[in-house]
Amino acid sequence: MKVEDGTVNGENGLVFVETGEESSGPSSTLDFEVKNKRRHSVYQEILQNYNELRIRCKNLKEAKEKILSYSPGAWTEKVGGLNLSDYDVPKTTCLILIGPRGSGKSSLINRISKVVEDDKFAPVRAQVSYNSPTGDGTYFLQEYMIPRESTSVCLYDTRSLSGNSNENDRILNCWMTKGVCHGELVFRNTDSHSLKKLLNHRTYKTGYLPSKRRKVNFVIYVANGLSVLKAMENSGTLEAQYTNTVASTFNCPYLSFKDDKPVLVVTHGDLLSLSDRARVCAHMVELLGIPPTQIFDIPAESDDRVTEFTIIEMLRYTLQHADRNYSPKIKFMDKVHKASLSLCMILLILGLGIAIALAHDKFTHPSLRHTWKFLASSGKPKVPDMQPKIDWYKIRHIW
């Protein structure tokens, strides 16, 4: 994959797009060729992105300063005649990490923290389970400020998704509609009695200090590139279950903000060749229906500048999309409602005035009307103080 000048040679990756499917019949042959060319185009674009990252990573310092100087709403676009003051901008932009077990969410948080703080030897912040099939994983929601002393951005480490789609939908719906809270225990209905007892015991031992519940502003979806590659090369049920879980949960409507789907981070690339990493990313483009620019290949154990720059670019992408999806303020919506209400009140008053005038003319006695006309024509300076009596009960339907 690499040539002498360090660039990537995409021709060796053609084996990826030429195998794996068979065609039968003229129509299916044409579909196969179109699909093959499309895959090849995506694959080449991903390889080109790797080359461009090697050049762009020279600007790592400037890119990092933009993240460090970020404040919520800094990248909000002034569209629709609205200003930043018309939006409900939080004090802290909340990004939540979601993914199946063993995807590397906790490791990614540690990696992000070290890169942003520019301290490779800083102690890890998120607890990592190195034996994912039997490890405990993350059962309590954990909040991490990025960087530590800042209040502009926070990352939330969450409990891993399961293979039960209904259970995943319930938990995701809760997080995205009610918000997330530091230290909150995440239960599944499918958890065993012994596990629930153990988790309740942990809560009792450590205590629970109520924390501020934060609204989720954007989602970072984390997937294990090695598990995806296994699913691509094997047709077993266990391998296919991983990609099915990724596809169903990634496209869950709760995780999208209008037209914005989550950003995808592919981990464990340090265990794969560059060719396989490109294959995995190209496969995720086809599986999830997102552009290559929405996928970030971040090996958890790599310390090179390209990986660091990719982390900063991923943060910038998520923060920009979080800023442009803020909800309008309630006060702003009240102004709209009050203006509509005022217009309705004016129209109602005018309508009542017209109705009363018509009723006045209808129920006035004819002799009185004749007297008023006579007095008016005789040039008398003053009309007698004789007001017609209105039967309000008879015209109650007007009100």
Q: Residue 277 is part of a domain; what is its CATH number?
A: 3.40.50.300
**What mean pLDDT do residues 156-164 have?**
92
- Is there a single domain that holds both residue 312 and residue 370? no
Domain total of the chain? 2
Question: For the residues 292-312, what does the mean pLDDT come to?
Answer: 92
Q: Mean pLDDT for the chain? A: 82
Q: Is 19 part of any domain?
A: no
Domain C-terminal end among 284, 306, 328: 328
**Domain-embedded: residue 11:** no
Residues 314, 339 within the same domain: no
Residue 23 lies in a domain: no
Q: What percentage of the chain reaches a pLDDT higher than 90?
A: 49
Residue 357 covered by a domain: yes
Radius of gyration of the chain, Cα coordinates, nearest whole angstrom: 33
Same domain, 252 and 393: no
Asked if residue 9 belongs to a domain, the reply is: no
Same domain, 317 and 350: no
Q: Give the pLDDT of residue 17.
A: 41
Residue 1 reports pLDDT greater than 50: no
Q: Which tens digit of pLDDT belongs to each residue from 21-57?
A: 555 556 678 877 888 898 899 999 999 999 999 999 9
Domain for residue 20, yes or no? no
Residue 262 has pLDDT above 60, yes or no: yes
pTM of the model: 0.76
Of 117-131, 201-215, 313-327, give the range with the top mean pLDDT.
313-327
Statement: residue 363 has pLDDT above 90: no
Same domain, 193 and 107: yes
Domain membership of residue 374 as a residue range: 332-398
**Token representation of residue 49:** 């992105």
Q: Are residues 231 and 350 in the same domain?
A: no
Pairwise pLDDT comparison (14 vs 187), residue with the higher score: 187
State whether 285 and 221 are in the same domain: yes
Choice among 84-88, 103-107, 168-172 with the minimum mean pLDDT: 84-88
> Is residue 285 located within the same domain as residue 356?
no
4 — pLDDT class (breaks 50, 70, 90): very low
Rounded to whole angstroms, the Cα distance separating 22 from 31 reads 11
Residue 131 tokens read as 């034996």
Cα 372 versus chain centre, distance: 73
Helix/strand/coil (H, E, C) string of the chain? CECCCCCECHHHHHHHHHCCCCCCCHHHHHHHHHHHHHHHHHHHHHHHHHHHHHHHHHHHHHHHHHHHCCCCCCCCCCCCCCCHHHECCCCCEEEEEECECCCCHHHHHHHHHHHHHCCCCCCCCCCCCCCCCCCCCCCECEEEECCCCCCCEEEEECCCECCCHHHHHHHHHHHHHHCEECCCECCCCCCCHHHHHHHHHHHHHHCCCCCCEECCCEEEEEEEHHHHHHHHHCCCHHHHHHHHHHHHHHCCHHHCECCECCEEEEECHHHCCHHHHHHHHHHHHHHHCCCHHHEEECCCCCCCHHHHHHHHHHHHHHHHHHHCCCCECHHHHHHHHHHHHHHHHHHHHHHHHHHHHHHHHHHCCHHHHHHHHHHHHCCCCCCCCCCCCCCCCCCHHHC
Residues 314 and 337 occupy one common structural domain: no
Same-domain pairing of 186 and 134: yes
- Please indicate, yes or no, whether residues 188 and 322 belong to a single structural domain of this protein: yes
Q: Which phi and psi (to 5°) does residue 286 adopt? A: -70, -40
28: in domain = no
Domain boundary residue, one of 328, 349, 372 = 328
Q: Which of 302, 328, 354 is the last residue of a domain?
A: 328
The answer to the question of residue 58 being in a domain is yes
Q: Answer yes or no: do 359 and 210 share one domain.
A: no
Mean pLDDT of 339-346: 69
What mean pLDDT comes out for the span 229-256? 89
Distance CA 165, CA 63 (A): 38
